[in-house]
Structures are given as structure tokens and as C-alpha cells.
Amino acid sequence: MIDGSYCRSITEFNQEFDVVIVDGRDRVNCVKQAIGKLSKTGVIILDDSDRQRYSEAIDHAKEKGFRTLSLEGLKPSTGKLSKATILYRQDNCINI
């Protein structure tokens, strides 16, 4: 389901996260929810970010002050090129 309980499941935790990996069908809303649960130095890794339907997630993160670093390589399950994007802010936990 899009914009349902799945994307909000991160809000059930009473903690902040340093790294959030976003995968699944509702990536856009998962990124939107994850931003509010990141630690000050936290990052989000968005899988399959080369898919046009997930560009809204990247645009939203950029509006919130995030930078992007995209990594491209062969996806093991398909043998095709795929991209993952790290959404990060200055002074982040992975020092990029």
C-alpha cells in the first residue's frame, strides 16, 4: 500500500538512526518518514534510485538540505546496471 502503515513503521521506534536503508514499493514515503528519524549525522541509502518514480524522494531530501552521492553497479539479482543513492548532510556519520 502506498502511504500506508509500512512507510510510517520507522516512527514506532523511540530512537534516531544513523543509517536507514530504503527498499520496497513505497520508497518515496519511506524517505519522507525516515528524514524525521535520522540522527544529526544520519544518512539514508535509497535503493534503485535510478527509477524515475523515486526521483520525488531525492527531490524532497534535497529540499530538506540533503546532498546526494549515487553509486552504480551490477545488481546481483538481475545482472543489469542499477543505482543506489546516499542522501546525506554535511558532517555525516560516513564522512562524505
Number of other CB atoms surrounding residue 76 within 10 Å: 7
Q: Is the pLDDT assigned to residue 49 strictly greater than 90?
A: yes
Domain borders along the chain are 5-88
Q: Judge contact between 93 and 39, C-beta under 8 A.
A: yes
Query: In this predicted structure, what is the pLDDT of residue 46?
Result: 98
Give residue 16's pLDDT band: very low, low, confident or very high (50, 70, 90): very high
Alpha-carbon distance of 20 to 59, in angstroms, equals: 17
* CATH tag, 5-88: 3.40.50.150
Give residue 1's pLDDT band: very low, low, confident or very high (50, 70, 90): confident
CA angle 9/13/17 to nearest 5° reads: 100
Give residue 93's pLDDT band: very low, low, confident or very high (50, 70, 90): very high
